[in-house]
Amino acid sequence: MRTTTAILSKIFTQRFYIQNTGFFLVLFYLLFGVVDGSSLWNYHQSLMLGFLRNNSFLIIVLLLWTSYALKCAGFILKTFQTQGYDFLFPTMGSMPATSRWRTWWVLHTAIYMPVLVYAAVAVVVAIQQHYYLKGIIIIVFNIANCIWPLTLYERKLAQPDVIFFTGHMQRWLNKHFTKPPVLFFLYELFTNFPRRIFSTKLFSAAILWLTFLIMRQGEYFDLRGLQLGAMVSVLVHMQLMVHNRAFDDTYLNFMENLPIRLSTHYLRLICIYILMFLPEMVMITVNAYTKTPWMGLITVFCTALSLMILFRCLLYFPKMNPEIHVRYVLLTSFIVLFMILGKYEWPAIALLQIASAIIFFKKYRTYEPYIERE
């Protein structure tokens, strides 16, 4: 029989890494994909020496680690508010205080582990280079990031009705603003999951900024390189697509029984992802409108939006859990990438749109909410 900690690890740790697959793919790309393999260690050693020698750089790094700690804490707190996980309150509340704090520590540390591993390597480099004070600062700071979230978890357990950060804003919006259906999901993100949407947009902007930086340093502009950056930016949004499916399953089942045409439902889906990708479209336009004709920008936007819509429509297949979804997403991305490299962008866009429409119109009326088997 599995222990309580093992069950809770599956609920929190495993779900966190699955739901944030896109986030970690982008992080892997930033840390390892932009550097030649033979120079990888020198690159990271130089990066670590950079924030060990420069106090301002170190502060930025510590703030980034704190942001990730907030992301971890927010995920655990939101899990308690997720439908179907109400049993966590009596389960955790019935545990002895010492065991509960130890369990909080194990769960949070497991989610925070990527930062701990990188910080541990940085401490080793600090000791080798005789930056002892900076090494101590990194150790103390990361221990603190593993402790202060535990108080938030205890507070949530004692006060289940407390909404993290956005309670007052949500009540004000509900009172003063009537939402059209196309904004239902975006409203859910900005009011109940603001850190998720903001962190996604932050990393998406970082990918595009890095794409333009590489082309600027190389003194060239390649539309296919921009399309590759936009594709990676789309992959960052994978966790939002899975969240969109969960939101529709939980709150919008009633819309299937309304006298609304399928084409209207499909148009609503397209508009959701156009609005979601609008900040990236503005950023691309500002940085590239003088370097490529408008048709090139339209090609980039259509490719990215077609990928997003297809990736969302794939979730209408039965038994499509996040792990299987990632496989199909990566396979589709590789196929589209090769078509882009072969300058077959518009055939790729057409195939993506046709596939999305076929899946949506065939599966929408017969789709049943996905329930993961334990």
Enumerate the domain spans of the chain.
Answer: 1-164, 167-374
- Compare 258 and 34 and report the one with higher pLDDT: 258
d(CA 112, CA 102): 15
CA atoms of 51 and 69, how far apart (whole Å): 19
pLDDT at 33: 64
Q: What is the pLDDT of residues 71-127, one digit of tens each?
A: 888 888 888 877 777 777 777 777 888 888 888 898 889 999 989 998 999 999 889
The pLDDT, as a whole number, for residue 167 is 53
The mean pLDDT value for 310-326 works out to 87
**Average of pLDDT values for 16-23?**
81
The pTM of the whole model exceeds 0.75 = no
Q: What is the model's pLDDT at position 171?
A: 66
Is 50 exceeded by the pLDDT of residue 374? no
Binning pLDDT at 50, 70 and 90, where does residue 372 land? low
What pLDDT shows up at residue 150?
87
What pLDDT is stored for residue 276 in this prediction?
Answer: 93
Predicted pLDDT of residue 37: 62
- Of all residues in the chain, the percent with pLDDT exceeding 70 is 91
Q: 160-199 in b/e burial notation, b at 16+ Cβ within 10 A?
A: eeeebeeeeebeeeeeeeeeeeebbbbebbbbbbebbbeb
pLDDT value of position 301:
93
pLDDT class for 352, splitting at 50, 70, 90? very high
Q: Report, as an integer, the average pLDDT of 58-62.
A: 87
Helices (H), 97-166: 97-128, 132-145, 148-158
Smallest CA-to-CA distance from 229 within 31, 23, 26 is with 26
Mean pLDDT confidence for 210-228: 80
- pLDDT by residue (tens digit) across 245-296? 888 888 888 887 788 899 999 999 999 999 999 999 999 998 888 788 888 8
Is 164 a residue whose pLDDT tops 70?
no
Count other C-beta atoms under 10 Å from residue 99's C-beta.
Answer: 12
pLDDT at 356: 95
Task: State the number of CA atoms in the 13 A half-sphere of 56 facing the CB.
Answer: 0
Rounded to the nearest integer, the mean pLDDT of the chain is 84
Q: Among residues 219, 210, 221, 228, which one has the least CA distance to residue 341?
A: 228
List the alpha helices (DSSP H) in 252-344. 262-276, 278-288, 294-314, 322-341
Residue 206 buriedness (CB in 10 A; 0-12 / 13-18 / 19+): middle
Q: How confident is the model at residue 169 (pLDDT cuts 50, 70, 90)?
A: low
- The per-residue DSSP string of 213-262 comes to HHHHHTT---HHHHHHHHHHHHHHTHHHHHHHHHHHHHH-GGGGGSS--H
Query: What is residue 131's three-state secondary structure?
Result: coil
pLDDT digit string, tens, across residues 117-162: 989 999 998 898 888 898 899 999 999 988 888 888 887 777 665 5
> Which residues contact residue 215 at a Cβ distance below 8 angstroms, ignoring those fewer than 6 apart?
221, 222, 225, 226
Mean per-residue pLDDT for 55-66? Answer: 87
Q: Where residue 1 falls among pLDDT bands split at 50, 70, 90? A: very low
Give pLDDT, residue 36.
Answer: 64
